[in-house]
Chains A and B, each alone.
Chain A
Amino acid sequence: MEVFNIKQASKTFDNNLDVLQGIDISVSQGEVVAIIGPSGSGKSTLLRCATLLETMDSGELSYSGEKAAWNGPDGKTVYAPEAELKKIKSKFGLVFQNFNLFPHYSVMKNITDAPICVQKRDPKEVFAEADALLAKMGISDKADAYPYQLSGGQQQRVSIARALAMNPEILFFDEPTSALDPELTGEILRVIRTLALENMTMVIVTHEIEFARIVADRVIFMDAGIIIEEGSAEQLINNPENARTKAFLSRLQL
Chain B
Amino acid sequence: MTLTTILSKLAGGMLTSFSIFSLTLIFSLPLGLLVALARMSKNALVKGIMRIYISIMRGTPLMLQLLVVYFGPYYVFGIKLSPNYRYWAVIIAFVINYAAYFAEIYRGGIESIAPGQYEAAKVLGYSSSQTFVKIILPQVIKRIIPSITNEVITLIKDTSLAFAIAVTEMFTIAKAIASSEKTLMAYVFAGIFYYVFNFIVAMIMERIEKKLNYYH
Binding site for B on A (CB under 8 A): 51-53, 86, 89-90, 92-94, 96, 98, 100-104, 113-114, 117-119, 146-148, 162, 166
Contacts and interface: CB of A to CB of B under 8 A. Distances in A.
Given A114-B126, A118-B130, A146-B214, A103 B116 contact: no
B215 A148 contact: yes
Contact of A146 (B126, B135, B215): B215
Which of B114, B120, B122, B215: most chain A CB closer than 10 A? B120
Nearest to B116: A100
A53 B125 CA distance: 11
Contact of A166 (B117, B124, B134): B124
Nearest to B139: A104
Nearest to B119: A53
A94 B124 CA distance: 9
Contact of B215 (A98, A104, A114): A104
Interface in B120-140: 120-126, 130, 134-135, 138-139
A102 B135 CA distance: 7
Interface string B120-163: 11111110001000110011001000000000000000000000
B116 A162 contact: no
Nearest to A98: B116
Top 8 closest pairs, chain A to chain B, by CB: A100-B120, A100-B116, A114-B124, A148-B216, A118-B125, A146-B215, A89-B125, A94-B123
A123 B161 CA distance: 53
Interface size class of B (residues with CB under 8 A): 20 to 34
Given A102-B120, A103-B216, A86 B138 contact: no
Nearest to B216: A148
B134 A96 contact: no
Contacts of B117: 100, 102
Contacts of A86: 125
Contacts of A94: 123
A166 B138 CA distance: 23
B128 to A, nearest CB: 11
A119 B23 CA distance: 40
Given A96-B116, A103-B215, A148-B215, A51 B123 contact: yes
B170 to A, nearest CB: 39
Contacts of A93: 123
A107 B120 CA distance: 15
Given A96-B119, A166-B124, A117 B134 contact: yes
B85 to A, nearest CB: 43
Contacts of A162: 124
19 contacts: A51-B123, A53-B123, A89-B125, A92-B123, A93-B123, A96-B119, A98-B116, A100-B117, A101-B120, A102-B120, A103-B216, A104-B142, A104-B215, A114-B125, A117-B130, A117-B134, A118-B124, A118-B125, A166-B124
Contacts of B216: 103, 146, 148
